[in-house]
Copies of this chain bind each other. A is one copy, B any other.
């Protein structure tokens, strides 16, 4: 094996290790947040994600915009939206001029409820990552931003 091959193999193993750590950290934090949403707000992570997306778009989003933003399937969003509508946190309204489409937006109650959840969520994350220094966080953020460009770049090159 040449030294180039050796270096390549090392890098492969290191990347695999990186991925496994990334996964472990993410799952650990996710499990924590999931549990807290369940206990403190009787809610779930997918519901939180939908509310968070709609909170950013007060005028609402079409179902397809919502699923595109969250990077989940259309059919998936349908079910979550159904339940949020039933709970009175969001509403579906027709889109004038296109009878196929529906716009979804937060109700007053949904907005108030999400504001509470978002504040708690921010604090949970601050606590969970309390050990991370500002400097370290910023370094990781820029690493991730470059990785994300690569991940999406690869994808769009394929298309």
Determine whether the beta carbon of A26 is less than 8 Å from that of B23. Answer: yes
Closest CB-CB distance, A152 to chain B, in whole Å? Answer: 8
CA distance A142 to B74 in the complex (A): 38
| Chain A 109-136 interface mask (CB, 8 Å, partner B; 1/0) | 0000000000000110111111110101
With A136-B143, A143-B140 already in contact, the answer to whether A151 and B19 are too (CB < 8 A) is: no
A residues 7-47 touching B (CB-CB < 8 Å): 10-12, 14-19, 21-32
Q: Determine which residue in A128, A145, A149 has the highest number of CB atoms from chain B within 10 A of its CB, and name it.
A: A128
Residues of B within 8 A of A144 (CB): 18, 21-22, 24-25
Known: A16-B122, A126-B12, A134-B14. A29 touches B140 (CB 8 A): no
Kindly identify which residue among B19, B137, B140, B141 contacts A129, using a CB–CB cutoff of 8 Å: B19
What is the interface of chain A mostly: helix, strand, loop, or mixed? helix
Q: Complex Cα distance A129/B70, Å?
A: 22
A19-B29 contact in complex given A12-B126, A151-B128, C-beta closer than 8 Å: yes
Instruction: Flag whether A148 is at the interface (Cβ < 8 A).
Output: yes
Assess the B148–A25 pair: CB atoms within 8 A. Answer: yes
In the bound complex, what is the Cα–Cα distance between A147 and B154 (angstroms)?
29
Query: A124 CB to closest chain B CB, in angstroms?
Result: 9
A63 to B148 Cα, complex, angstroms: 37
**Could you tell me the distance between the alpha carbons of A131 and B126 in the complex, rounded to whole angstroms?**
29
Given A21-B144, A151-B25; A15-B71 close (CB under 8 Å) = no
